[in-house]
Structure 1
Amino acid sequence: MKFLNWKIIYKIFIYEWNKKLIALIIAILMWIYVSSLYNVEHIFYMPIQFVNLPNDLIVIDSSDYTATLVVKGEKEKIKNIDISKYLNVKVDLSKAKIGINEYPIEIDKNEKRLDFYYELNKNKITLTIDYLTNKILPVNIIIKGQPANGYYISDYIIGNDFAIVKGPKKLIDEITNLEPIPIDISRATSNINLQIKFKLPKLVTIENQDELFVDIIINKISNQ
């Protein structure tokens, strides 16, 4: 067995060790710098799409409707990337249940082969699901202001006396009447025709909104 040549080991590892250490540090820093030119990290805030939700259900609340997507890859390939062309974030609600539950977040790839690496900041989302229902309620209007001097309201005609209100069951059950937005007729000198609008909670809509209009008849006072 040959003995180790300590002089050679000394020259390789110990002699002028401080210079060699500096050279090693410089080499590592150069490698990090060169790598940073080619490999970068971008953060995208992706809207979460809810798919396959049964027609009789509605999402009424969520902890957050966006997901943070971290994309890593070569700088030239991802610096101006339109991430939505390659990836979509979705939640499959085909098996949604009434109440508050967690659902897995999935990523759909629009391309089979991607030139970058990606990961989500979370893999689940908390959603509140309710039944989607409707109710028929009477329609009224509120008129504010007065016509111009010498004019008066002779009549008004509502296109449909009833509105079909649609939304989450919890909210629909609480609505007992519709609150119309006041119609301002101040200084009017001719008939007014417009849609009747209502103050509605979020997620509540009027199904037959196109039928809910009013004609306010403004006539001139006769000088007889």
Structure 2
Amino acid sequence: MKPLSASYWRRLVTKEWLPILISLIMSAVLWYNVGGEKTVDTSVMIPVEVLNLPRDLVISNQFKRQLEVTVNGPRSLILGIDQREISRRIDLANATPGTTVITNDVESITVPRGITVLRVQPSTIILSLDKLISRQFPINPVTIGSLLPGYVLESLRMEPSVITITGPESVLAKHEVLRTREIDLSNINKSMQVQAPLDLDPAIVDLIGETTITAEIVVRLDKEQHEYSLPLDADGLEVPVKRVKVLADVPKLLLDQDIKLTDMLSARLAIDEVNGIGIVRIIQAPDLSHPVEVIRVEPAVVELPKVQIPQPQTRPPAGEAKPAAPAPTGTPQAPGKAKPPENP
């Protein structure tokens, strides 16, 4: 029998026994690191991931966004579980409006090989699915305090006056309007703009967040209507009207100072030479702290006799000679010559 050569044995070891040897070594190492490693129990937090929610539906309730999962496995695998992006996936592709109960059993959590899920807390998730709608809500201002005496609030406008909110129908149906937090009007005596936060229900805050709008406060003087009789200043002309009646809105601040209307206003006649009338003008005293609003004057127009209408004096344009005086009747005499006597 011919002995086998050395090259034959080298080929046999290289082609057949070497891969087997490497596999045995790797199996031993894997058994030591996994099978032979001590197993541990631990709890990890797993996020909840909602998938395929229909566009016309919305989850209207609060639910736990993380689950506490107790797992068992080799220490080396457990330590790296946080890097594996494990989550509890909930598929809502076929969901309809209403309440849906999701069961969290150990099979609902997918973990790497070698790790076992022992428990999931909470064991169920309750989801309230609602129709997604949009509604417009008017803004109602809420005020406290009073303006300074002598002033009244003419208007209080909100900008914007209406807010559109998109959210669950069950949440939006509970509200008809949105209100501001208290706007303090104390000691205000002029128009201004202030920032007014909205006083929102927590469910609305979840939809639009904390919201602030602009409140435009319009303030005016508090006035009373009074009618007085004023003497008419006709600038020396003889007119049939000596006094006029004046109806005016007078600020209460002036009335509180006991100022007479005759000290606030005066009536003066302005001449309209073209139409031959006098127009009654009401003039306010220059030192009034607040203006008086004249509503009506009776009479407002006074007719003047034509003989009293001042006639404008005409003058020739500059540079134009005045017209010569008319010559006397008869034949002019030469200077130095006497007039000859007439024949008898």
- For the aligned pair, the TM-score class normalised by the smaller chain equals 0.5 to 0.7
Match in the other structure for 1:89: 88
Structure-2 separation of matches of 1:46 and 1:148: 61
Match in the other structure for 1:174: 174
1:119–1:208 Cα change, 3 Å: closer
- Whether the 8 Å CA contact 2:159–2:216 is kept in 1: the answer is no
Unpaired runs of at least 5, structure 1: 1-34
Match in the other structure for 1:128: 128
Residue 194, structure 1, aligned to residue 195, structure 2? yes
1:183–1:46 Cα change, 3 Å: farther
Q: What are the Cα deviations for residues 160-208 of structure 1, in whole angstroms up to 9, with x where unaligned? A: 2211133221232232222332234667899554254132252676669
Residue 73, structure 1, aligned to residue 73, structure 2? yes
Correspondences of 1:51-66 after superposition (within 5 Å): 51-61=51-61, 64-66=64-66
Pick 1 or 2: higher relative contact order, CA cutoff 8 A, min separation 6: 1
Rg (Cα) greater in structure: 2
Correspondences of 1:157-168 after superposition (within 5 Å): 157-168=157-168
- Whether the 8 Å CA contact 1:163–1:208 is kept in 2: the answer is no
Question: Could you tell me the percent identity over the aligned residues?
Answer: 18
* Paired residues, number: 184
Matched residue type, 2:139: V
Match in the other structure for 1:4: none
Query: What TM-score do the two structures reach when normalised by structure 1?
Result: 0.59
Matched residue type, 2:195: L
Q: What are the Cα deviations for residues 108-139 of structure 1, in whole angstroms up to 9, with x where unaligned? A: 67xxx566433552775332211111211221
Displacement of 1:82 after TM fit?
Answer: 6.4
Q: What are the Cα deviations for residues 125-164 of structure 1, in whole angstroms up to 9, with x where unaligned? A: 3322111112112212112345799999776442222111
- Whether the 8 Å CA contact 1:156–1:214 is kept in 2: the answer is no
Q: What are the Cα deviations for residues 29-71 of structure 1, in whole angstroms up to 9, with x where unaligned? A: xxxxxx9x83221112434222221121111236754422112
- Whether the 8 Å CA contact 1:103–1:126 is kept in 2: the answer is yes
1:165–1:119 Cα change, 3 Å: same
1:176–1:196 Cα change, 3 Å: same
- Whether the 8 Å CA contact 2:51–2:93 is kept in 1: the answer is yes
Structure-2 separation of matches of 1:183 and 1:38: 67
Unpaired runs of at least 5, structure 2: 1-34, 222-252, 254-287, 290-344
Structure-1 separation of matches of 2:74 and 2:157: 66
Structure-1 separation of matches of 2:189 and 2:157: 17
Displacement of 1:73 after TM fit?
Answer: 2.6
Query: What TM-score do the two structures reach when normalised by structure 2?
Result: 0.41
Structure-2 separation of matches of 1:149 and 1:207: 39
CA RMSD of aligned residues (A): 4.4
